[in-house]
Amino acid sequence: MSKQFQFKLVLLGESAVGKSSLVLRFVKDQFDDYRESTIGAAFLTQTVTLDDQTTVKFEIWDTAGQERYKSLAPMYYRNANCAVVVYDITQSASLEKARTWIRELQRQADPSIVIALCGNKLDLAARRQVSQEEAKKYAEEEGLMWTETSAKTGEGVTEIFTEIAKKLPLTAPSAARAGARTGGPATRTGVDLNRQSGSAPGQPDACNC
């Protein structure tokens, strides 16, 4: 019987680096040239298959990068199991911003959080301002995952989420086809939510098969 794990993932990073675009590519395999800046936080889910037996369901919170909403970000990264901090390889300032986010996560978020640093807009490598070496070195120092992506071409997008899924502690199987399950899909999601808020990160579900 296959097992499914569920994790909360949050995207952080300066405005316009392409957070929403990355999510759109990952969830729907689409890209928009003209996207409106996020004002709020979009909630989406997507499932990654690791092997025949294991799938990981991400509950994704795509946050707003605009400075004015910075104070609300903690609400979305609390209880997160993983974070993707995005910068734009054509804007060196955006890496600075990413560093700030990472420092904040290291201080404020759950200590077991898995953080990935992601340099987006790889298709614009001609206008690159942030070198791979610089970013990679920083990521290594901080013990972060690192990769470059293009939401536009799709390059590296699925990979980064899959890599994160692999890094997450898949220790306990989820409530697959739990005998005690009641009600329709509605109740089931209710159960998810309880667990999401109630249990410690990294310990998705107790097996009640």
Ligand X SMILES: Nc1nc2c(ncn2[C@@H]2O[C@H](COP(=O)(O)OP(=O)(O)OP(=O)(O)O)[C@@H](O)[C@H]2O)c(=O)[nH]1
Q: What is the contact surface with another protein in residues (CB under 8 A)?
A: 1-2, 4, 39-45, 47, 55, 57, 61, 64, 68-69, 71-72, 75-79, 174-190, 193, 197
CA angle 155, 105, 55 (to 5 degrees): 50
Smallest gap, in angstroms, from Cβ of residue 186 to ligand X?
Answer: 30
Region 8-67 residues binding ligand X, contact defined as CB under 6 A: 13, 15-21, 32-35, 37-38, 64-66
Q: Which stretch binds Mg ion (CB under 5 A): 32-40, 78-86, 99-107, 115-123?
A: 32-40
Binding partner at 125 among ligand X, another protein, Mg ion, none, C-beta below 5 to 8 Å by kind: none
Smallest gap, in angstroms, from Cβ of residue 13 to another protein?
Answer: 17
Query: How far is 151 from 136, CA to CA, in rounded Å?
Result: 20
Amino acid at 151: A
CA-wise closest residue to 9 among 115, 151, 133: 115
Q: Using an 8 Å Cβ cutoff, are 19 and 86 in contact? A: yes
What x/- string results for residues 33 through 72 when contact with Mg ion is judged by CB under 5 A?
Answer: -----x----------------------------------
Binding partner at 193 among ligand X, another protein, Mg ion, none, C-beta below 5 to 8 Å by kind: another protein
Q: In Å, how far are 30, 86, 95, 131 from 21, measured between CA atoms? A: 8, 11, 18, 22
Nearer to Mg ion, 64 or 175 (CB): 64
* Residue 200: alpha-carbon gap to chain centroid: 18
Q: Which stretch binds Mg ion (CB under 5 A): 15-23, 97-105, 147-155, 162-170?
A: 15-23
Q: Using an 8 Å Cβ cutoff, are 108 and 74 in contact? A: yes
Which residues are CB-neighbours of 114 under 8 A, at least 6 positions away? 81, 82, 83, 145, 164, 167, 168
Q: For residue 81, state whether it binds ligand X (rule: CB under 6 A).
A: no
Q: Would you tell me which residues interact with ligand X (CB under 6 A)?
A: 13, 15-21, 32-35, 37-38, 64-66, 120-121, 123-124, 150-152
